[in-house]
Structure 1
């Protein structure tokens, strides 16, 4: 585990801004809390690598759950805030990787991001 702004982030080779062995570009600066274990991970591959259970997604009724950690400033966004943030932290304006949208289905039920480009 790595401490990122006071939050424990688990995964493989997690850095101080939540980058990991799987995703390490300048924009890979978020960690997502998985509802199955209430633990932050930089990516679904990290969750798979270090846990002994199947990952669960945030559901339709979970849009206001604090679930996404900005590794730059430490703010925790709700699911709805993250999905709507247009790939930038609403607190510190750090750029998030737009490619993460292609992985939303690992973290969120489709209804939570159906309106997003």
Structure 2
């Protein structure tokens, strides 16, 4: 693994891709606010998570909550939302389509 975080989910690979999202640019994991554990996607959290889904409150967007599956860099919610297309550490591209699902993770 390129990182040292535990990422839970269904068929998670070394760069945090899962059964649901597995294109070459699907390489982030989100720390869910409710359980403080990393999952590649909402569906994986629904399948193997805590069962108490909560989105990140806006007043805590300064906390680390997004993991780059390539280099292991952790981004705060605000940093991720500001640069959602590439990792600021290793420049690996992130899936811009993730923006369509941000309401599932961030309040």
TM-score (normalizing by structure 1): 0.88
**Take 2:100 and 2:29, find their aligned partners in 1: how far apart are those partners?**
15
Segments of structure 1 that go 5 or more residues without pairing to the other structure are 110-117
Misfit runs of 4+, over 6 Å: none
CA distance in 1, matches of 2:42, 2:16: 13
Cα RMSD between the aligned structures? 1.1
Q: Deviations over 1:4-39 (max 9, x none)?
A: 611000000000000000000000000000011110
Question: Alignment length, in residue pairs?
Answer: 107
Unaligned runs of 5+ in 2: none
When you count strand as a share of all residues, which structure comes out higher? 1
Is the 1:48–1:54 Cα contact (8 Å) retained in structure 2?
Answer: no
Q: Whole-Å Cα distance in 2 between the matches of residues 14 and 86 of structure 1?
A: 21
Q: Residue deviations 1:79-100, cap 9 Å, x none?
A: 0000000410000000000000
- Which of the pair has the greater relative contact order for Cα pairs under 8 Å at 6+ separation? 2
Q: Equivalents in 1 of 2:77, 2:28: separation in Å?
A: 12
